[in-house]
A = this chain, B = another copy of it.
Amino acid sequence: MKPAPSFRRSEPDARRQSLIEACARVLAKAGATGASVRAIATEAGVSPGLVGHYFDGVDALVAATYHHVDGKVAAALDAAVLAAGPAPRARLEAFVTASFAPPIADPQLLATWIAFWSLVTARPDIARQHDEQYAGYRARLEALLRNCGLADSALRIAAISVTALVDGLWLELCLSPACFSAKEAGTIARRHLDALTSPAG
């Protein structure tokens, strides 16, 4: 009889992906402080040395994880918009309220995100990643707002305000879920969109 293989080989991309997802789980569970090479390797079920084989140090792994998680969120938002149909206002609402439902409204995702924020101060490359990603987020929001008839002159401020409100609601919804519900967050956000799209001036 053959002894069970002590490990399996994987496709390089699959192994990289596995390490990235393990890194995200560790960041969510233990924060930036606990995201050590050994903890990530254990979470992924591999030996510590493998991290160095696929990434130039743990910093590069964290940066890759940031990029991956950002892509996951963007995909979830796009899917929500696509599922909303062609009506501009429905698409806008879908984009906004998707942040209050899985997989975005997830305490683990917030914990991962906070770990990234905690690195912005000390890591210029992470800071740049953050700026680019937020600029992209606001750009997509501006496009959705424009389709709802918002004047070009008001677009920038409107996108900033909606982004801030959604971020704040998402943050507190994840940090203390008992305080208010996802449904209430959606109501608040929709009311804000109403005030923006029908100026009572």
Chain A residues within 8 Å of B, Cβ to Cβ:
28-34, 107, 111, 114-115, 117-122, 130-131, 134-135, 156-157, 160-161, 163-169, 171-172, 175-176, 179-180, 184, 187-188, 191-192, 195, 200
Residues of B within 8 A of A195 (CB): 191-192, 195, 200
Min C-beta distance of A36 to chain B, whole Å: 10
Interface SS of A by simple majority: helix
Residues of B within 8 A of A184 (CB): 157, 160
Complex formed: what's the CA distance from A164 to B162 in Å? Answer: 11
Complex formed: what's the CA distance from A195 to B165 in Å? Answer: 14
- B114 & A175 in contact (Cβ 8 Å cutoff): no
Q: Using CB atoms, name the residue of chain B closest to A112.
A: B121
- B176 & A131 in contact (Cβ 8 Å cutoff): yes
Min C-beta distance of A119 to chain B, whole Å: 6
Residues of B within 8 A of A163 (CB): 168, 172
Min C-beta distance of A84 to chain B, whole Å: 23
Complex formed: what's the CA distance from A32 to B118 in Å? Answer: 7
6 more A-B contacts (CB under 8 A) besides A134-B179, A161-B169, A164-B171? A30-B121, A114-B120, A117-B117, A118-B118, A134-B176, A195-B195
Complex formed: what's the CA distance from A41 to B172 in Å? Answer: 33
